[in-house]
Amino acid sequence: MTMRWTFVVAALLAFLAAPRAMAQGEPDVDVDVASADFDVDEDEDAADQDPDDEDEPESATEREQDEYDSGTDAIDEEEWTQAVGHFDRAIAMKGKRADAALYWKAYALTRAGRRPDALAAIAQLETSAPQSRWLDDARALEIEIRQGSGQRPAVESQSDEEMKLIAINSLMHRSPDEAVPMLEKFLAGSGSVKLKKKALFVLSQGGSARAREVVTEIARGRRNPQLQSEALKYLGLFGGEQSRQALADIYASSSDVDVKKEILHSFMLSGDRTRVIAAARGEKDASLRDAAVKALGIMGAQEELWQLYKTETSVPVRKGILHAMFVGGAVDKLAEALRTERDPSLRAAAIHSLGLAGGPKSADVLIAAYKSESDPEVKKKVLHALFLQGNASAMVQIARAETNPELRKSAVHWLSLMNSKEATAFMMEILDK
């Protein structure tokens, strides 16, 4: 029964009881049913109203956040004018989002093509919030705006090193001849190594003869020795044949093994297979031949690696070649090495690489090797290789057929570590016996 009907029934009972009360000399009972019903409506409405539904006025912080969020949403939709309006209202509240709103207002104005207004917003941010974490982004945006307007970036006016570097980078795209001397000066200064690495990165992409000359000098170790490794890498990444020739000259003249390894890595980055193969074949230092072999594996030089394997005399380097063939996906060559090799350590290395290679082709090679092999130690290595592949099916078949207790135990051991339905079913089969 609802509250309304409770009051109505109560009023009706009171009304019916009135004549008896009068007969007993009690005072008249004046019942206004209509009025009672009206009061019930108000009480019921009040009772039914959820206190959480009452509208409470938003705080200034919430209004500011709403405007800021609406502004960023408008930026996502590329509604630049709407975004500016939302950010203006957030800025006017002078809350904790004011500096961020000024930056995004400048950004929206830039995208809307209103560069002078965007610069004014950045100036307002610098004045009103000199410690804001948005200042670096704002200054970078200012450089972008001025460059887009055809203005030369004001490198000299920048006090912050990172901002200066951004300005030089911008200048490099517009006037490389002017930017290179500034980068040289920056590299010779007292800035941090981190920023100097960024400056070298910018310089290495300059493309001018002078820029390449400076990078080559650093690569030779004649200046900024802490940047030599980066310079060697950038000559491989961004240079053409002239840069690769410079690397070859440094390689030939250097006695530093670490520098030579860096150069081999740079040859790999530049795709200079010829020079890497020459090092793999002719280098007297086994560690450098090994470094060249690893580079060839990443470059996918399968045939060249196989030819090197047949002529190489160092066992550690030959193991490196087998691993490089795995990296290059040369399953056929690994299978041939397993069939023809007599050195136990090299056969083990070939088996391990076949296990890492995975796939049905290598699985077939490993299963065939297990069946034909008589050495229990080699068979154990095959089982481990099948485990590396996650080949539970082959392992279960071997475990069921194997008569050598030690080998069967090894197969069961690897199966117990595999998260596979077949392996689990086989474990249950063993338990049921």
Give the pLDDT confidence of 314-347 residue by residue, as tens digits: 999 999 999 999 999 999 999 999 999 999 999 9
Please list the residue range(s) of the chain that carry CATH number 1.25.40.10: 63-151
Give the pLDDT confidence of 294-305 residue by residue, as tens digits: 999 999 999 999
* Res. 68 pLDDT band, cuts 50 70 90: very high
Give residue 38's pLDDT.
40
Give the pLDDT confidence of 28-39 residue by residue, as tens digits: 444 444 444 444
**Do residues 372 and 388 lie in contact, with contact meaning Cβ atoms separated by under 8 Å?**
no
Give residue 162's pLDDT.
63
Look at residue 51 and tell me whether its pLDDT is greater than 80: no
Instruction: Look up the pTM and report it.
Output: 0.60
What's the CA gap between 410 and 371, in Å, rounded? 16
* Res. 163 pLDDT band, cuts 50 70 90: low
Q: What percent of the chain has pLDDT over 90?
A: 61
- What is the average pLDDT score of the chain? 83
Q: In 3-state terms, what secondary structure has residue 54?
A: coil
What's the CA gap between 217 and 246, in Å, rounded? 10
Give the pLDDT confidence of 208-238 residue by residue, as tens digits: 888 899 999 999 998 888 899 999 999 999 8
Element containing residue 219 per DSSP (H, E): helix 209-219
Look at residue 170 and tell me whether its pLDDT is greater than 90: no
What's the CA gap between 187 and 210, in Å, rounded? 14
The topology under which CATH files domain 63-151 is: 1.25.40
Higher model confidence: residue 113 or residue 152? 113
Give residue 240's pLDDT.
86
* Res. 183 pLDDT band, cuts 50 70 90: confident
Give residue 176's pLDDT.
72
Give the pLDDT confidence of 353-385 residue by residue, as tens digits: 999 998 999 999 999 999 999 899 999 999 999
3-state secondary structure labels for all residues of 158-170: CCCHHHHHHHHHH
What's the CA gap between 255 and 235, in Å, rounded? 19
Give residue 142's pLDDT.
82
Look at residue 40 and tell me whether its pLDDT is greater than 70: no
Comparing 83-87, 124-128, 135-139, 319-323, the range with the smallest average pLDDT is 135-139
Q: Give burial (CB, 10 Å; 0-12/13-18/19+) of 183.
A: buried
**Do residues 53 and 61 lie in contact, with contact meaning Cβ atoms separated by under 8 Å?**
no
Higher model confidence: residue 216 or residue 430? 216
Q: Give which of 200, 270, 208 is closest to 236, Cα–Cα.
A: 270
Q: Give which of 215, 217, 210, 254 is closest to 236, Cα–Cα.
A: 215
The full length of the chain comes to 433
